[in-house]
Chain A
């Protein structure tokens, strides 16, 4: 069965510092990978996705992620964070031809401090 692990439940960081949110998945077959962001009292918004092709994926709001098949990881990075990036971040996977059934990680709370 597939599973997703977000290693850090909370990540505090100062404004303008770089940040990396870690995501590892377990699967014996190819997967599609996603990062979603959820601001307080809102739904989930897609930051970026990896379906195939280049392993470095650029998303919205200056975020990027790198797919590493050998390490089964899909870590999210941003070189310089803003206060407005404070939110909950979810990594998710799905199999191709699996009806878009998403398996979510437990979430990482990014807290950007001034």
Chain B
């Protein structure tokens, strides 16, 4: 199984809502990543988890809260988002030094 899955595929939320994005992999990778991608731009790294511990937070606003409940799951909790947070959110996993495997993404629209 070389797949990273993400749910939901699409999400529309208001600025006062609380929602969560989910990412799952069963490749035994111990590094997992959240990226944000705006249209016509490359992915921007948000968070890195290594062995289920947060190792990198790229100065992401606190309205984004990551969680890694176990080695296969990665969540991104969203609260009080702004319209400019609308983007494609990508999850990836990797075993060093090999490549990152990306999920299909969640298309988020904040209204």
Contacts and interface: CB of A to CB of B under 8 A. Distances in A.
Interface stretch (B13-21, B64-72, B75-83, B93-101): B93-101
Interface in A36-61: 36, 41-46, 49, 51
A97 interface: yes
A107 B96 contact: no
A43 B99 contact: no
Nearest to A48: B99
A63 interface: no
B74 interface: no
Contacts of B42: 90, 104-107
Interface residues of A, number: 25
Nearest to A6: B42
**Residue among A42, A43, A51, A101 having the largest count of chain B Cβ atoms under 10 Å:** A43
A79 to B, nearest CB: 24
A96 B43 CA distance: 20
A99 B105 contact: no
Interface string B34-78: 000000111101001010000110000000000000000000000
A109 B94 CA distance: 26
Contacts of A42: 104-105
Give chain B's interface residue range (CB within 8 Å of chain A): 20 to 34
Contacts of A44: 43, 90, 92, 102
A100 interface: yes
Interface of A: 32, 34, 36, 41-46, 49, 51, 88, 90, 94, 96-97, 99-102, 104-107, 109
Interface of B: 4, 6, 31, 40-43, 45, 48, 50, 55-56, 90, 92, 94, 96-105, 107
Instruction: Pick the 10 closest A-B CB pairs, nearest first.
Output: A104-B42, A43-B102, A44-B102, A100-B94, A43-B104, A46-B99, A43-B105, A43-B103, A49-B99, A107-B42
Given A43-B102, A43-B104, A44-B92, 7 more contacts: A43-B6, A43-B105, A88-B40, A99-B50, A100-B100, A101-B56, A107-B41
